[in-house]
Chain A
Amino acid sequence: MAPLDDKPVLDVRGPGGHPLDIPRLACGAMDDLKSYAAHPKHQEDCGFPGELIDNWQEVAIAKIGELADKNRAFQVYLDACVKCGACTDKCHFFLGTGDPKNMPVARQDLLRSVYRRYYTFAGKHFPWLVGARDLTREVLDEWYNYYHQCSQCRRCSVFCPYGIDTAEISMAAREIMDTVGKGQKYCNEIIAKVKVTGNNLGLNPKALGATLEGLEEDIEDETGVSVRIPLDEKGADILLITPSADFFAEPHIEGLLGYAKVFHEAGVSWTLSSYASEAANFGMFIGSYENMREISLRIRKAAAIDLGVKRIVFGECGHAWRVAYSFLNTLAGPFDFLDQNYPIPQHILEFTHNELEKGTLNIDKSRNDEFRMTYHDSCNVARGSRMGDKPGGQFEIPRAVLRAVCNHYFDMDRDTIKESTVCCGGGGGLLTDELMDLRIKGSSPRMKALQQVTEDHGVTHMAAICAICKTQFSKVMPKFGYEMDSILSVHQLVSNAIILTGQETDEDTAPIEGAATAGAE
């Protein structure tokens, strides 16, 4: 991590203050932050030039034109801004860093100014009048820096009266940079890895199988009940697509145990796939339709050809759910071979919520009494998708599940949740160590909102349904006075509360009366 001691730095970790307080401007505070450049081999694996090409300027300008031509929304976003200022204080990275270039309008203008120069009448003839700029090497470097300080969370777009989506502009900028050979290591190394091993981690089938067997042993040791976590089982009804972090990291793995217990108690047949062992799709972060499609097609092949399943369920992964819910059918459809009586695809929370409503799960909420919970809405779920069959289901279903398995649940400040949720600070391809300073600062609005409910309601833990959020919080929470394990998977709490059929409880009693009823404080 580059030291930034000589720059104006905000004390984002201090107590007090509203989570959305506007900071004093710190011009240039994040000018020097650089994400590592992609290795030439990973660039080529993703279909991009290995290094910056000689005629990069010409190619980049042509690419802007191509994108504006092909994607009308992108062109409207570049043309429509009237500089009203509504977005200026809506980005968590601006709130955390004070750097005015992290205001959404400024981030958009990095690209808009170049678009104007080459694609508008005024910009071609009177660039000084309309803020149009030549695409120089300095501008390209500025793009690289500040488009890797956007987590594509889309909070700003909620407040823009024209609905300008900075995430789309940031994705387009990354695609333009990739096209001329200026890619980012974190995203492109991972995409290259998925193409070979089927997941972001690089976990091969043998290692995955061994990990899952170990987890089956853990459940049996803990509960005395044999619960399977099947891999590559042909003819299973449900294919579970989950982020590979669920096989590796904490608290993610605890969530996987929760899915397994829910499927077990629901009595359905299910399987994971070693070929499509990843829900995440970093193709979206770099705005690359081709890469997004290639990754999505692995899911289709696993479901249709390898395993012949009837349903696809997605595990807890934020942007994966946006890709799945919003784009999967056009990327990898049609899914006419699946059972049309179920949502295609379905979220694991919809599945669990249904089972809770049906009463198939034996729940003892008191098993989570050590936790006083709140819930972090992940951006891509909140603003890029839906869940269930009612508007707002993506907000209500996770909360309903939490309330059904915990006795103590409290929401954070209304302006920081649901459609206005503030990002964890690590999404959109920023979950890499060299950006840790940015990640800590960007998480400060969320952390302050958490501190408020800790103060007001004694909240001890926060739950999330996104692998990136979980990892990000486990790293940044200690900077704000919380233990790293204060972030939990929603299905970890489900797992804690489920009493499996045949499981002997500590009290060795029958199911606790009234334990399965929903509703909490």
Chain B
Amino acid sequence: MSYDVNGTAVEHDEEGYITNLGDWTEDLAGIIASAEEITMNEEHWEVVNFLRSYYEEYQIAPAVRVLIKAIKKSMGPEIGNNKYMYELFPYGPAKQACKIAGLPKPTGCI
């Protein structure tokens, strides 16, 4: 199971999360997004970039509430709210946005 990034195979698991986090590139993000039927725009990127920087600091994805608070600060309350996050990532900002950002799938009762 792999994504084809300009001729290079990037391995992923049965749910589409990449196996080696170091394989992530912006091109790959675009490819994962289209597999999820999402066309990346500025707002998607803002979320993905925040997730990646949070992950770099804490080695885990943020709570949805933390994500929304950060996006509200950077892009305003029209975008930084739960409803809009689900419009951007219909399968949920936690799981779907993490997949595009190349982060592991959050696990547990969530």
Contact = CB atoms under 8 A, between A and B. Distances in A.
A417 B106 CA distance: 31
A360 interface: no
Interface string A240-255: 0001110111101100
A430 B94 CA distance: 19
B58 A206 contact: yes
B60 interface: yes
B109 A207 contact: no
A211 B60 CA distance: 11
A339 B109 CA distance: 31
Interface stretch (B24-32, B37-45, B61-69): B61-69
Contact of B108 (A206, A244, A485): A244
Contacts of A204: 58-60
Interface string A194-228: 00000111111011001100110010000000000
B6 interface: no
A178 interface: no
Interface residues of A, number: 38
Interface string A306-339: 0000000000010000000000000000000000
B15 A280 contact: no
Contact of A203 (B60, B64, B86, B104): B60
Given A36-B14, A249-B94, A253-B65, A467 B109 contact: yes
Contacts of B104: 202
B107 interface: yes
A434 B15 CA distance: 8
A434 B91 CA distance: 13
A110 to B, nearest CB: 25
A207 B64 CA distance: 14
Residues of B in contact with A, size category: 20 to 34
Contacts of A248: 63-64, 94, 106, 108, 110
A200 B63 CA distance: 14
A52 interface: no
A245 B108 contact: yes
Contacts of A64: none
A204 B63 CA distance: 13
Interface in B55-110: 58-60, 62-66, 69, 82, 86, 94-95, 104, 106-110
7 contacts: A202-B104, A202-B106, A244-B109, A249-B94, A253-B63, A280-B108, A471-B109
Interface of A: 36, 186, 189-190, 193, 199-204, 206-207, 210-211, 214-215, 218, 243-245, 247-250, 252-253, 280, 317, 431, 433-434, 467-468, 470-471, 484-485
Given A248-B110, A249-B110, 10 more contacts: A211-B66, A218-B69, A243-B109, A248-B63, A248-B64, A249-B94, A250-B64, A317-B109, A467-B109, A485-B82
